Amino acid sequence: MTDLPKLVATSVVRGSEKGQSHGGVYVVDFNAQVVEQKIDWNTTDIDFTGRGWDRGLRGIEFTEDAIWIAASDELFCYAPDFSLVGSYRNPYLRHCHEICRKDHLLFLTSTGFDSVLAFDLNSMTFPWGLYLSKNGTHWTGQPFDPMSGGGPTFTNSYHLNMVAVNEDGIYFSGLNTEALLALSADLTVTEFCSLPRGCHNAQPFKDGVVFNDTGSDVVRFVSRKNGDVVIPVPKFNNSDLQYLGVDDSRIARQGFGRGMCAVNEQLIAAGSSPSTISLIDVYKGERLAAVNLTMDIRNAIHGLEVWPAHWDMK
């Protein structure tokens, strides 16, 4: 098999203690069959008040000469060699999950504030935020200025965990939205499609939508042409798992699907726990390849993106 991708992946570790690793950043070359850990996230200023909340690094994006990676409440900028260039905070960035770039703007999910924030890559500021709420069956997006202090209170009602941006607009979803939501130019929020409760990484893909149906331990591609394509998340023998049963909340469990990116017109990469990355042909409904980074049940993939090919040519 040729022309498989090189990916960047982040992981988080559930239930780890101070002084232990809370995840890391990996470069995974499926063609060369090589995995390199570039960052070991073992910072000592992590909030330990809740399982998983602040552990590890999250969403990933790229600009021409930088890698942008989100932690819970901080946005980090790295050079292509993974040396730290800078970091940026905002009071309304809390429990961030995924990020997505469109031109000079990075969009970030602020899960704790039921909001999406924009980060301007030119001014290195957070000039815009959108607070999501629902009145009956009607969704509302209320814009606010994250720099002024006049934003929403901490709520986390919908657990926003995904934002995707394309030529048609901004899309976002969460564990409790039960829909992939679309934001129009006039800031109207509408339901693009319904989703199962508890899913991750929902995003438009070709003529449909693809997502981690986390509660069902599958990846789903639902399209007008192909219908409902279901690909099971990889599972392992319990005897091979490490730290099994360490977390009685069932947050740390195998088969927990999270992390996804499009590789090309029909291939996606999807993450799961213990930290495993699968390459999936969504039209054939087949897992073409997979790599397991660790058998530690607490360690789960979070962010996935395709490594910029032109960086390897410099």
pLDDT of residue 55: 56
Q: Please state, rounded to an integer, the average pLDDT across all residues of the chain.
A: 89
3-state secondary structure of 185: coil
pLDDT of residue 313: 65
User: In sequence order, what DSSP letters do the residues of 196-251 get, joined into one string?
Assistant: -TT-EEEEEETTEEEEEEGGGTEEEEEETTTEEEEEEPP---GGG-BSTTS-TTSS
Strand order across the beta sheet in which 286-292 lies? 257-262, 267-272, 276-281, 286-292
Q: Please state which of the ranges 38-47, 124-133, 199-208, 295-304 shows the lowest mean pLDDT.
A: 38-47
Say if strands 189-194 and 200-205 run parallel, antiparallel, or are unpaired: unpaired
Structural domain of residue 221, as residue ranges?
A: 6-313
Q: How many domains does the chain have?
A: 1
Q: Residue 154 above 60 pLDDT?
A: yes
Q: What are 256-303's pLDDT values in tens digits?
A: 999 999 999 999 999 999 999 999 999 999 999 999 999 988 888 999
Q: Does residue 207 or residue 245 have the better pLDDT? A: 207
pLDDT of residue 247: 55
Q: Is residue 1 part of a domain?
A: no
Q: Please state which of the ranges 19-23, 72-76, 225-229, 306-310 shows the lowest mean pLDDT.
A: 19-23
Q: Is residue 262 part of a domain?
A: yes
**Amino acid at residue number 83:** S
Q: What are 35-59's pLDDT values in tens digits?
A: 999 988 765 443 434 334 445 689 9
**Amino acid at residue number 48:** F
Q: What are 225-260's pLDDT values in tens digits?
A: 889 999 999 999 999 998 887 654 445 688 999 999
Q: Residue 76 above 90 pLDDT?
A: yes
Using 50, 70 and 90 to split pLDDT, how confident is the model at 127?
Answer: very high
Q: Is residue 114 part of a domain?
A: yes
**What gap in Å lies between CA 230 and CA 211, rounded to an integer?**
10
pLDDT of residue 16: 47
Q: Residue 119 above 80 pLDDT?
A: yes
pLDDT of residue 150: 85
Q: Can you give the CATH number for the domain in which 117 is found? A: 2.130.10.10
Q: CA of 179: how far to CAs of 46, 98, 154, 195, 229, in Å?
A: 31, 17, 22, 5, 18
- Reference 271, options 258, 254, 290, 256; nearest CA is 258
Q: What are 99-117's pLDDT values in tens digits?
A: 999 999 999 999 999 999 9
How much of the chain, in percent, has pLDDT values that exceed 70?
89
- What does the pLDDT average to over 147-166? 94
pLDDT of residue 81: 95
pLDDT of residue 12: 86
**What gap in Å lies between CA 163 and CA 170, rounded to an integer?**
7
pLDDT of residue 216: 96
Task: Kindly state the tokens that stand for 122.
Answer: 């030119």
